[in-house]
């Protein structure tokens, strides 16, 4: 009798779990009644590989093939539910993939600033806080039946070309910044590598940074940068292989690249294709001779799942034709199921699993809102501020005017991969909280700004105001996935609008730039009628509030742009030219702050504040002797390139012994407390062909009170930070003088054997 009662109770509990999930027609959760513990793969006492093997052994070939696509079918006889692998979480949980829905109990989620903006904080603690908050909202949405457990972020491709429509999704152009961002995002999002809170995905592996541009499509084009940090230190549980080819072979068919990740970097997880990246291997790239060959190429290369349905359609025939074996499929399934096990997907109904109590109350919380606010505050970049025009004093502003098509909108605050924001605040709304009578004119119908028939109204509104704020810049109509820019100038007639307003304004105007890519605003930089320029990227749902706080000096701005602001003349460079290094013989200027030799509108790491900072090296070595340690280890033999002595970095170099700490003083010379990023660069006084002009060694966000000094330490890893890669890809340390640089302060260090 008691046994019967117990069983009944168990059944009722399970039924409760089922009916509370969003869909009643779900077959069941895996390993729940009636299949409760009847399969070894449900037995949590067994090892994960054992469970994966057991699960695979129960599947027929057609059932297996159905698991190889992002929309994986269920297997009702085993109690396996359908699973959607594709959910998105770039800077907030969003419904740009089919795995996330806002149609249930949860109708919105926190929209944090777009990544290119948060990157400008250069604050790793903040980056982790954002990723953790996004993950909590993701797990909460999963438990409510509105999201999966596998998310396809971050995007860590290098922002190599200023026109790239997805540059906004990335941490910018510097490989060190991107690596550290990747580590922070992934480790905070996933929590732990053995049992995953959620799964994050480093994309797009690799050499992918161009959308459709002048007839070139992003997937027919070659190049190559690294994802090592994301896997090795971030412990990412997913890699997404990209559309493009890498040296003539589609990225998803590059077995060497996937092997490198697994064997050399210790990658444990699954490899997904970018969406339809398998179909195009045959259909567009003509790399494979048949659909079955395309399927064989990716499965044999180590790809595990196809975003799209190409594998669903062609894998069985590939097996029949002998191009793919069932072993190839089992290999992929093992990787897929292991990630699902680590996520706890087979450990019962969502509410019973680890973190099962997270739900609607954990989304759009005050705490997450505070992180979104903090992210925008730490990231806004002040590019110009003539004569300390900003901050404004609230009681000294008799009237305020806001001009610009984005001023009263909230739908462009997030940039791409945005979800439904919790409670977005437009710039107009934010300013009116300070000056209720703020007047507004859009000036243009939208950011395309093709017509000037609303200029007159804008000019009138600006003329009568005491202080004028103009919002200009970009929207997803200019830059997004599948859309690169052609020009770096302000779109349409926006420049004319700014000029028209500046010419009638009583005082110089405040220009606010929105957008994810750099804009050539040299006209505004050089025009004294424009007192201040703020770049606010896509600032997220609280953007309007934070802009008003910035203008009225509620905080001291301290963001540094992690991209180079190239002039319009850069558009003469073909986007398809992937070379980072300049080529003086053809006038090719190179790319990014490490190599670009041309003029800039604003350089990498530009950013002002309402105070001024200065630096001093307190302690730093003048000399590094490689001889002492080399006698302990092996005899390093300096070699020469172009008459320059260098030491090749090999495994037997004791890099640990060559690390040293730099002590740096940061002085705040102004009247306002502030925090800002301190960036340490290095360059070698002796140049070899192909070495960068400078490289970023390290950075730290530092708080310094007004008229006070803060001391910080930055660890220099000689092998990594003072070395360079020669033209053949060999990593070397050039012997001789190296220069460490903090803004305009330099310290010389001599490296000898
Ligand atoms: C689960 O596996 C353990 C270890 O092999 C075994 O002792 C136990 O009986 C299994 N449980 C069930 C319900 O099969
Ligand atoms: C939400 O949308 C999805 C996809 O359109 C649908 O399957 C699901 O039933 C919807 N849920 C609710 C509660 O409407
Ligand atoms: C870095 O970000 C964290 C989280 O927002 C914040 O508490 C901290 O003060 C920031 N550090 C500096 C120096 O601004
Ligand atoms: C921004 O683009 C969206 C479409 O992506 C459009 O609905 C909106 O009106 C645009 N806003 C402005 C100010 O251009
Ligand atoms: C922008 O406004 C113009 C009218 O001036 C209109 O033709 C165009 O479709 C609008 N663009 C968008 C994206 O709404």
Q: Which of 409-423, 442-456, 619-633 has the lowest mean pLDDT?
A: 619-633
Between residues 159 and 580, the one the model is more confident about? 159
Q: Which of 206-210, 273-277, 527-531, 651-655 has the lowest mean pLDDT?
A: 206-210
Measured from the alpha carbon of residue 483, the closest ligand is 4
pLDDT for 350 equals 77
pLDDT for 76 equals 84
Q: What angle do CA 128, 130, 135 make, to 5 degrees?
A: 95
Q: What CA–CA distance (Å, rounded) separates 9 from 352?
A: 15
Q: Which of 182-196, 257-271, 490-504 has the lowest mean pLDDT?
A: 182-196
Rounded to 5 degrees, φ, ψ at 71 are -95, 80
Category of 426 on φ-ψ map: left (φ > 0), alpha (ψ -120 to 50) or beta: beta
Rounded percentage of the chain residues whose pLDDT exceeds 90: 75
Residue 504: closest CA among 463, 456, 461: 463
Contacts of 450 (CB under 8 A, 6+ apart): 444, 492, 493
| Mean pLDDT computed over every residue of the chain | 89
Atom 7, ligand 2: residue with shortest CA distance: 23
Q: Which of 78-87, 291-300, 343-352 has the lowest mean pLDDT?
A: 343-352
Q: Is 243 exposed, middle or buried (0-12, 13-18, 19+ CB in 10 A)?
A: buried
Q: What CA–CA distance (Å, rounded) separates 625 from 240?
A: 43
Instruction: Kindly state if the Cβ of 125 falls inside 6 Å of ligand 3.
Output: yes
pLDDT for 689 equals 76
Angle in degrees, 0-180, between the axes of helices 124-143 and 175-190, rounded to the nearest 10: 40
Distances (CA, A) of 597 to 152, 546, 590, 591, 600: 35, 35, 7, 8, 9
pLDDT for 18 equals 36
pLDDT for 639 equals 66
Q: Taking a C-beta distance cutoff of 8 angstroms, is the pair 624, 750 a contact?
A: yes
Q: Start-end ranges of CATH 2.60.40.10 in the chain? A: 612-752
- Multiple choice CATH, 377-572, 3.40.50.300, 3.30.40.10, 3.40.50.1700, 1.10.510.10: 3.40.50.1700
Q: What CA–CA distance (Å, rounded) separates 681 from 688?
A: 18
Residue 240: closest CA among 223, 215, 257: 257
Q: Quick check: bond before 206 cis, omega within 30?
A: yes
Q: Which of 12-21, 64-73, 471-480 has the lowest mean pLDDT?
A: 12-21
Rounded percentage of the chain residues whose pLDDT exceeds 70: 89
pLDDT for 634 equals 40
Task: Grade residue 642 by pLDDT with cuts at 50, 70 and 90.
Answer: low
* Local structure of residue 177 (DSSP, 8 states): H
pLDDT for 7 equals 40
Q: Which of the listed residues 447, 450, 491 should we mutate to test ligand 5's pocket, taking the one with most ligand atoms within 8 A of CB? A: 450
For residue 574, what are its two tokens?
A: 């073909």
pLDDT for 141 equals 97
pLDDT for 637 equals 56
Distance 214 CA to ligand 5 centre (A): 22
Q: Which of 299-303, 353-357, 409-413 has the lowest mean pLDDT?
A: 353-357
Q: Which of 214-228, 328-342, 455-469, 474-488 has the lowest mean pLDDT?
A: 214-228
Task: Grade residue 347 by pLDDT with cuts at 50, 70 and 90.
Answer: confident
Between residues 625 and 370, the one the model is more confident about? 370
Give the atom of ligand 2 at the shortest distance from the alpha carbon of 98: 4
Give the atom of ligand 2 at the shortest distance from the alpha carbon of 23: 9
Strand locations in 310-456, DSSP E?
A: 381-385, 400-403, 439-441
Q: Start-end ranges of CATH 3.40.50.1700 in the chain? A: 377-572
Q: Which of 265-274, 370-379, 680-689 has the lowest mean pLDDT?
A: 680-689
The answer, as to whether pTM is greater than 0.85, is yes
Angle in degrees, 0-180, between the axes of helices 48-57 and 326-342, rounded to the nearest 10: 130
Between residues 11 and 197, the one the model is more confident about? 197
Contacts of 219 (CB under 8 A, 6+ apart): 242, 243, 244, 245, 250, 277, 280, 284, 285
Q: Which of the listed residues 129, 130, 378 should we mutate to test ligand 3's pocket, taking the one with most ligand atoms within 8 A of CB? A: 378
pLDDT at residue 37 greater than cutoff 70 = no
Q: Which of 203-212, 355-364, 476-485 has the lowest mean pLDDT?
A: 203-212
Verify whether residue 466 is a known catalytic residue: no
Q: What angle do CA 428, 433, 436 make, to 5 degrees?
A: 80
User: pLDDT (tens digit, 9 = 90+) per residue, 203-224?
Assistant: 998 765 443 444 443 333 333 4
User: pLDDT (tens digit, 9 = 90+) per residue, 537-574?
Assistant: 999 999 999 999 999 999 999 999 999 999 999 999 99
159 in helix, strand or coil? coil
User: pLDDT (tens digit, 9 = 90+) per residue, 702-712?
Assistant: 999 999 999 99
pLDDT for 648 equals 76
pLDDT at residue 266 greater than cutoff 90 = yes
CB-defined site of ligand 1, < 6 Å: 37, 43, 45-46
Rg (C-alpha) for the chain, rounded Å, is 28
Among 17, 184, 274, 362, the one annotated catalytic: 274
Mean pLDDT of 660-678: 97
The 3 state secondary structure assigned to 20-47 is HCCCCCCCCCCCCCCCCCCCHHHCCCCC
Rounded to 5 degrees, φ, ψ at 65 are -60, -35
Mean pLDDT of 505-527: 98
Task: Please tell us whether the domain made up of 612-752 is placed in CATH 1.10.10.10.
Answer: no
Instruction: Kindly state if the Cβ of 703 falls inside 6 Å of ligand 3.
Output: yes
pLDDT at residue 423 greater than cutoff 90 = yes
Task: Grade residue 42 by pLDDT with cuts at 50, 70 and 90.
Answer: confident
């Amino acid at each position: 009798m008691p046994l019967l009662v117990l069983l009944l109770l168990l059944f009722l509990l399970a039924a409760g779990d089922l009916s509370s999930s969003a869909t009643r027609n779900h077959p069941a959760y895996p390993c729940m009644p009636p299949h409760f513990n009847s399969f070894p793969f449900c037995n949590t006492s067994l090892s994960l590989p054992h469970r994966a093997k057991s699960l695979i052994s129960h599947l027929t070939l057609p059932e297996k093939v159905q698991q190889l696509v992002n929309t994986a079918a269920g297997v009702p006889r085993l109690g396996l539910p359908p699973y959607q692998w594709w959910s998105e979480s770039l800077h907030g949980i969003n419904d740009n993939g089919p795995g996330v829905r806002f149609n249930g109990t949860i109708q919105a989620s926190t929209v944090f600033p777009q990544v290119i903006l948060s990157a400008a904080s250069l604050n790793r603690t903040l980056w982790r806080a954002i990723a953790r908050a996004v993950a909590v909202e993701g797990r909460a949405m999963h438990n409510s039946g509105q999201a999966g457990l596998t998310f396809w972020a971050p995007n860590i491709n290098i922002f190599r070309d200023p026109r790239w429509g997805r540059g906004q999704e990335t941490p910018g152009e510097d490989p060190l910044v991107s690596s550290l961002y990747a580590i922070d995002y992934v480790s905070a999002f996933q929590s732990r590598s053995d049992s995953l809170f959620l799964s994050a995905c480093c994309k797009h592996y690799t050499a992918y940074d161009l959308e459709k541009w002048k007839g070139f499509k992003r997937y027919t084009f070659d190049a190559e940068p690294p994802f090592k940090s994301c896997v090795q230190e971030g412990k990412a549980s997913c890699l997404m292989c990209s559309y493009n080819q890498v040296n003539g072979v589609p990225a998803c068919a590059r077995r060497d690249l996937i092997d490198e990740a697994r064997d050399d970097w210790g990658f444990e997880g699954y490899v997904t294709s970018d969406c339809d990246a398998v179909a195009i291997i045959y259909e567009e790239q003509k790399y494979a001779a048949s659909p079955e060959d395309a399927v064989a190429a990716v499965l044999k290369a180590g790809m595990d799942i196809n975003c799209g349905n190409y594998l669903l359609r062609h894998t069985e025939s590939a097996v029949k034709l002998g191009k793919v074996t069932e072993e190839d499929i089992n290999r992929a399934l093992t990787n897929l199921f292991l990630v699902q096990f680590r996520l706890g997907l087979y450990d019962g109904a969502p509410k019973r699993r680890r973190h099962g109590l997270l739900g609607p109350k954990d989304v759009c919380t005050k705490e997450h809102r505070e992180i979104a606010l903090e992210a925008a505050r730490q990231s806004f970049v002040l590019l110009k501020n003539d004569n300390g025009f900003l901050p404004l004093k609230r009681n000294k502003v008799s009237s305020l005017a806001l001009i610009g098509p984005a001023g009263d909108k909230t739908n462009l605050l997030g940039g791409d991969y945005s979800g439904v924001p919790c409670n977005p605040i437009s710039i107009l709304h934010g300013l009116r909280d300070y000056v209720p009578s703020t007047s507004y004119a859009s000036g243009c119908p939208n950011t395309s700004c093709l017509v000037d028939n609303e200029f007159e109204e804008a000019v009138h509104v600006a003329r009568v105001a005491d202080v004028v704020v103009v919002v200009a810049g970009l929207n997803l109509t200019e830059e997004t996935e599948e859309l690169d820019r052609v020009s770096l100038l302000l779109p349409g007639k926006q420049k004319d609008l700014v000029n028209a307003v500046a010419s009638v304004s009583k005082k110089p105007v405040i220009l606010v730039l929105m957008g994810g890519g750099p804009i050539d605003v040299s006209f505004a930089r050089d025009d004294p009628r424009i007192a201040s320029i703020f770049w606010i990227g896509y600032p997220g749902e609280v953007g309007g509030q934070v802009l008003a706080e910035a203008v009225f000096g509620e905080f001291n701005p301290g963001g540094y742009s992690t991209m180079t602001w190239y002039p319009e003349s850069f558009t003469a460079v073909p986007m398809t030219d992937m070379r980072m290094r300049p080529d003086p013989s053809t006038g090719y200027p190179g790319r990014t702050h490490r190599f670009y030799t041309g003029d800039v509108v604003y350089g990498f790491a530009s950013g002002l504040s309402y105070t001024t900072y200065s630096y001093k090296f307190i302690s730093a070595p003048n000399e590094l002797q490689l001889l002492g340690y080399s006698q302990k280890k092996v005899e390093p033999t300096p070699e020469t390139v172009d008459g320059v002595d260098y030491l090749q970095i090999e495994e037997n170099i004791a890099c640990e012994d060559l690390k040293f700490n730099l002590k740096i003083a940061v002085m705040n010379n102004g009247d306002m407390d502030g925090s800002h990023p301190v960036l340490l660069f290095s360059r070698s006084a002796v140049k070899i062909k192909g070495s960068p002009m400078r490289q970023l060694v390290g950075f730290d966000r530092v708080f310094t009170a007004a008229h006070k000094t803060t001391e910080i330490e930055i660890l220099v890893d000689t092998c990594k930070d003072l070395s360079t890669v020669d033209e053949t890809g060999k990593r070397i340390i050039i012997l001789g003088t190296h220069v460490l640089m903090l803004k305009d302060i330099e310290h010389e260090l001599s490296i000898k054997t």
